[in-house]
Amino acid sequence: MYRAPVEDIAFTLKHVAGLKAALDAGTFGDLSEDLVDAVLGEAGRFATEEVAPLYKIGDEQGAVLKDAAVTTPPGWKQLYRRWIDGGWNALAGPEEYGGQALPTMLGVAALEMWNSAAMAFGIGPTLTMGAVEALDKHASEDLKAKYLAKLVSGEWMGTMNLTEPQAGSDLNALRARAEPAGDGTYRIFGQKIFITYGEHDFTDNIIHLVLARLPDAPAGTRGISLFLVPKFLVGDDGSLGARNDVFCSGLEHKLGIHASPTCTMIYGDGFEGAKPGAVGWLIGEENKGLACMFTMMNNARLAVGMQGVAVAEAATQKAIAYANERRQGKAADYAGTGMAPIVHHPDVQRNLLTMKVLTQTARAISYCCAHAIDLARVSAGDEAAHWRDRANLLTPLAKAFSTDVGVDVASLGVQVHGGMGFIEETGAAALYRDARIAPIYEGTNGIQAIDLVMRKLPLGGGEHVHGFIDELAAVAGAVRTSNLQGFGRTADALDAALSDLTQATRFLQKLTADGRSDEALAGATPYLRLISLAAGGAYLAQGALADRNRIALCRFFAENLLGEVSALRARVTEGADSLAAAGKTLISA
């Protein structure tokens, strides 16, 4: 059974991501370390005692659709009610609408715990929180007054409606349409697929944020607008009125996260005899909807990264517990009688340590991204711009590297369990199934790599990333001069990795500056892993400098995993020609 690693989470927040320094400087007003510890402790208790026990029933029974209504697994609706009664949905919400306005860092730390306990549960509120941010930044005051308080509290939940059968990652192909009704509202028509929690029984209203085109909209993404479409229309007094013309026509039968309803949504089809056309309200400006939606998507991308961290943590805990119980063979360092627990075997130890360090590096990257978001919000001028650039740089790392780690670590967890991992009894396979979606949604990891190379490396005139590398190099220097025992070749490994990172970065920047984008994109995915491993190694070292008990894990990462960076640098700088040549063999005439 999962137990929230509150101490590890608090340590990473405070001593790696920078929360303690921010608290000491008064960056977040009167927020104290004691309050941070109390919030994390109670979130950990709730995740461990309330959410985790319902994971298995959620996986086994899943969500059920009947007559356009979705029923979640037994106990899940009541769990959600206890969750919002605890104020968890409002943790980072705006104060003027009932939120607690706590730092994003605390919000994502809590998200990690919800998703470790049950990813299918944690994903639902994630979208509501994203909807809150999008409405808070872009909606009219009337829409905010009518919807935000209930979304912040969690009394209502929100969704994000982008994807259509013909329009996945390429929103240029989007066909859903919106027709002005002449009274300030619009009528929405179309089909959306893969809509997480598009229909459910947690709340009595669901607020859909829907991308659609106006009749005279320009072609492509420049002609997309964003609309608020409630399941039930809402009166001026906040009461629920008639059912809107939107319904769930089907649920996807998925590899994992079975308790999370993934819906096909139909807008404007005359549901239950209604006049065709779902009533919607414009968010932001006409034809500027994608910019509004990206507010929600950037929030969601970090949250999805936390799902990768979360599944990795749960898989690691499960594998370590099993390895200490399962007995097989002999081991040189085992002094007991009979067969040794498999945790004594070097290969099993290697797997378990790899799981631990990958989880910790992904957690550090994600929390550092959240810290940058917080500092961008509370800073001004050049400092705010610096932290916005840092958050933008780290977001694709947090999303892509962390979700890749979730899959890799869950797979290693199955391996540690051996044959028992390949059957459902132990739960190791369920975590692997859950993890596999995260590299796909909210922009596939390949898209994150494209974003990193084409949009994020040019930040600050191309120099922001080099300032980031300089910060990582300072950590390597601190390791070298620390005189602490046990680091082994960590400083040398970090120096080599950061040198490779610098070379790969400047190589890609030159390619893009010269207009050779295809060559740059050939190296985008290995580059994202390269920069993530190099940053992760420095973050582990930073933690080890603050706590000597972490030195051994830091050294293991540096001497066993960080060498991959050199090979990744070669793929970035030398792999484009072979990719292009071999790629032609895949294309049918």
CB under 8 Å, gap of 24 or more: what pairs does 164-168 form? 164/190, 164/191, 164/192, 164/193, 165/191, 165/193
Which residue type is seen at 21? Answer: A
- Residues designated catalytic: 442
Which residue type is seen at 194? Answer: F
Q: Residue 332 in 3-state DSSP?
A: coil
Q: Residue 529 in 3-state DSSP?
A: helix
In whole angstroms, give the CA distance from residue 395 to residue 451.
10
Residue 509 CB partners (closer than 8 Å, separation 6+): 457, 458, 462
Answer yes or no: are the C-beta atoms of 55 and 118 closer than 8 Å.
Answer: yes
Answer yes or no: are the C-beta atoms of 452 and 396 closer than 8 Å.
Answer: yes
> What token pair was written down for 240?
């629920």
Which residue type is seen at 472? Answer: L
- What are the backbone dihedrals phi and psi of residue 49, each rounded to the nearest 5 degrees, phi first? -95, -25
- Please give the helix or strand (H or E) that residue 281 lies within, else none: strand 278-283
In whole angstroms, give the CA distance from residue 564 to residue 141.
51
Residue 258 CB partners (closer than 8 Å, separation 6+): 58, 59, 60, 61, 62, 63, 120
Residue 211 pairs in a beta bridge with 226
Helices (H), 5-161: 6-11, 19-24, 33-46, 55-61, 76-85, 104-117, 119-138, 141-143, 149-153
In whole angstroms, give the CA distance from residue 497 to residue 191.
47
- The DSSP output letter for 535 is H
Spell out the SS3 assignment of 283-302.
ECCCCCHHHHHHHHHHHHHH
Tokens 């790899």 found at: 354
